[in-house]
Amino acid sequence: MRFTLFVIVLFVTNLAFGQGNDPTFALTKGDQIEDLMLRYNELGEFNGSILVAEGGEVIYENTLGFSDFETQDPLDANTPFYLASLAKQFTAMGIMMLVEEGKISYEDKLSRFFPLMPNIYKKITVHQLLTHTAGVKDYFKMDIVKSGLKNMDVYEALVKKPQLDFAPGTRYSYSNSGYVLLAMIIQIASGDLYDYYLQEHIFDPLNMEHTFVMTNHTPPRTYARGYTQKLKPYDYDLLTYGDGGIFSTAEDLLKWHNALNNNTLVSSKSLLTAFTPVELANGQKRRYGYGWEIGNNLYGKLVFHTGGLAGYRTYIERQLGTSDVIIILTNTSNEHILEIRNKLVKILDGRAYSMPDN
């Protein structure tokens, strides 16, 4: 009996030690992310796809929830989501590739590509369009948004009512219209349709098999449908591109991230330009480059972008010095996406974080 008591005491002592101090019992970062995301999913606060890589190695990847709530079709790793403004980095890449080919330059003016545009626009440069410093009014503020809106509709609205929000180069103001014009410049300079150009020069070379541009000639495709937070249909219904229009998966965006890390598509010099904050005419800087927001933390420079339209909320963040990447794609108007991002960063950093409450 004394022996039995000793065994029990020894077992309890070892168990307490293991849970409190033995590192073999500690949750990995991937496990912590799993617990966090499952909790958000249980609370109905995450429906989508997530991928986190640290030091070039994927430590967590998962899809949770449904791609179509009416049919109860589940999401999987190959289900594309509408990227919204994450598309701007692909448009910027198309421009950078054409610059490296010598077909255009960042200082080219709109008059080269659109000779019939009103004079107020003609001195705007490609660089200013890329950095949202051109002053071109965002078409979402022009009372023209409707189902099936096309790039030519945006162009014609700009021509019919010529106006600038400010003198080019003097201020920063986010403009989807500017990236619509950049997509049209890609078509003019390359002699190819925007979607064909991206497919041939970016998506296919990187083996991004589940990425595509939605246009009026896109064949029917399966993708995650958009919903409100109350799960009412809220699908993407525009046909503009350049500013948006692209659907993709977390796995394909990882391939994109790796290609940027390896200078696969353009030189390191071009990427340095893309990741440099724009300087305004008065010498002030705005932390936006070519299709990317720019920041810094203890590990160095990071670039990121958010996206949001209809029921889609998206996010990508790349830590340039460590190759860490966070990719979040959702289709239920997720209002917690930046909250989730902040907790993922804390997990990567080894800092304390809180689980979501009921």
**Who has greater pLDDT, 11 or 171?**
171
Q: Answer whether 289's CB lies under 8 Å from 278's CB.
A: yes
Residue 18 lies in a domain: no
- Domain-located, residue 57: no
Q: What is the mean pLDDT of the chain?
A: 93
The four Cα atoms 315, 243, 197, 261 give a dihedral, to 10 degrees, of -30
Let me know if residue 8 belongs to a domain: no
Q: Do 144 and 154 form a contact (C-beta atoms < 8 A)? A: yes
- Find the mean pLDDT for residues 92-96: 98
Task: At 73, give phi and psi (nearest 5°).
Answer: -70, 125
Residue 109: predicted pLDDT: 98
Q: Is residue 206 part of a domain?
A: yes
Among positive and negative, which fits the CA dihedral 89, 94, 97, 102?
negative
Residue 20 in tokens = 């409190």
Q: What is the pLDDT of residues 318-347, one digit of tens each?
A: 999 999 999 999 999 999 999 999 999 999
Residue 349: which residues within 8 A CB-CB, separation 6 or more? none
pLDDT of residue 197: 98
pLDDT at 10: 32
User: Do residues 238 and 148 touch, judged by C-beta distance below 8 A?
Assistant: yes
Burial 197-234 (b: 16+ CB within 10 A, else e): bbbebbbeebebebbbbbbeeeeeeebbbbbeeeeeeb
Averaged pLDDT for residues 192-217: 97
Q: Residue 276 and residue 260: Cα distance in Å, rounded?
A: 15
Pair of tokens at residue 304: 């990121």
Domain of residue 154: give its range: 66-320
What's the number of domains the chain is made of? 1
What is the per-residue pLDDT for 288?
A: 98
Tell me whether residue 61 is in a domain. no
Question: pLDDT tens for residues 108-163?
Answer: 999 999 999 999 999 999 999 999 999 999 999 999 999 999 999 999 999 999 99
1-36 residue pLDDT tens: 333 333 333 333 333 323 334 444 579 999 999 999
CB 274 within 8 A of CB 90: no
pLDDT of 23 reads: 47
CATH of the domain at 277: 3.40.710.10
Q: What is the CA radius of gyration of the chain?
A: 23
Statement: the pTM of the whole predicted model exceeds 0.75: yes
Residue 4 lies in a domain: no
- Give 325's contacts (C-beta < 8 A, 6+ positions apart): 51, 52, 53, 254, 257, 316, 317, 318, 319
> Is residue 259 a part of any domain in this protein?
yes
Amino acid 19: pLDDT: 33
| pLDDT mean over 91-115 | 98
Helix (H, G, I), strand (E, B), or coil: what is residue 126? helix
Evaluate whether residue 209 is within a structural domain: yes
- What is the per-residue pLDDT for 203? 98
pLDDT tens, residue by residue, 238-275: 999 999 999 999 999 999 999 999 999 999 999 999 99
Q: What is the pLDDT of residue 25?
A: 55
Q: How confident is the model at residue 357 (pLDDT cuts 50, 70, 90)?
A: confident
Kindly state the helix (H) or strand (E) to which residue 37 belongs, with its residue range.
Answer: helix 29-42
Under 8 Å between Cβ of 354 and 340? no
Which residue's structure tokens are 């948006």? Answer: 244
